[in-house]
Amino acid sequence: MQTEQSPTLLGRVREVIRYKHYSLRTEKAYVGWVRRFVVFHGRRHPREMGAAEVRAFLAYLASELKVAAATHQQALAALLFLYKDVLGIELPWLAELERPKKPKRMPAVLSRLEVERLLTAMDGTHALMARLLYGTGMRLMEALRLRIKDVDFTRGEIMVRDGKGGKDRPTVLPTSLVASLQAHVQRVRLLWERDRAAGRAGVYLPEALARKYPSAVQSWGWFRFFPAADLSLDPRTGIERRHHAHEQALQRAIKRGLDAAGIAKPASTHTLRHSFATHLLESGYDIRTVQELLGHSDVSTTMIYTHVLNRGGRGVVSPLDGVGLR
């Protein structure tokens, strides 16, 4: 009988994930959930289990560990992937599983003045990255995964590759950032030239692209726009190469910027994306345009920002404000 420690089960999970071109982050998450599921049930093989065991594990996450709805949904997605895609088992009990509902929450949004204070409090490359997030509406990982070729200074456009849902989309290149970004590119070019002179491995490319364009891994156009300062081992191949900058470094820099600017809101890198959308709508841009820039599949997702515009109880003036008390 296979166990959780057997490389066959988890190895097969990784194999199918890579075949489907899922991200490394998804691979780590799904493998982790499969491992926890098997261990929770005494290392029984998933083929010996079904709806009751899946439901018991999810109930444990919700009642004992009190995980968030998003975490609960991710665990369920991992187990459904295991049974359907890895083990090839039909799931007649799938409809019986209750999916946790995410609570509807309004996104945190910074005012224009707060954005100015935050960005002013930051410096260096992290300040440039934060300005780019706010100026383009990109998600954190979309910005970090940019390649040199994706930023078109002539057209004033940035091409976001393989965004959420595996889609590409164009977004605006802020004119006010052009000079800073071009100076940044010159610094990055020197780093790329040093890597080439040292004979270091090129950047990571998806396997299909690496096979089709074998020289692209070392070409300037495919180099990371925001490369890491140090080399690291590729977790899938074991090759030492230069990846993109680490997301936690920017997240921490923004946290320090918020503290320095005296902003008490629980803001993050994603708050800059929310602020980008809200401020565009405040400026009168069409919601369909904002939808395209954000890469939303459905305009209903973008509609949440129209609710953010309705300040103070949907824009209602409190009757207390008309009484004349001071």
- The active-site residue out of 72, 126, 131, 139 is 139
- The sign one gets for the Cα dihedral 121, 124, 130, 133 is positive
Residue 274 among the catalytic residues = no
269: CB partners within 8 A, 6+ apart: 130, 133, 140, 247, 250, 251, 254
Report d(CA 22, CA 25) in Å as an integer: 8
- The active-site residue out of 164, 196, 200, 246 is 164
Residue 273 among the catalytic residues = yes
Residue 155 among the catalytic residues = no
- The active-site residue out of 117, 161, 241, 270 is 270
- H helix intervals, the chain: 7-19, 24-40, 51-63, 69-81, 112-121, 124-136, 140-144, 178-197, 207-212, 247-261, 269-282, 287-294, 299-302, 304-309, 311-314
Residue 36 among the catalytic residues = no
- The active-site residue out of 72, 131, 145, 273 is 273
3 state SS of 69: helix
Phi-psi region of 39 (alpha: psi -120 to 50; beta: other; left: phi over 0): alpha
CA dihedral 30, 36, 41, 43 (to 10 degrees): 90
> Residues with catalytic annotation?
139, 164, 270, 273, 296, 305
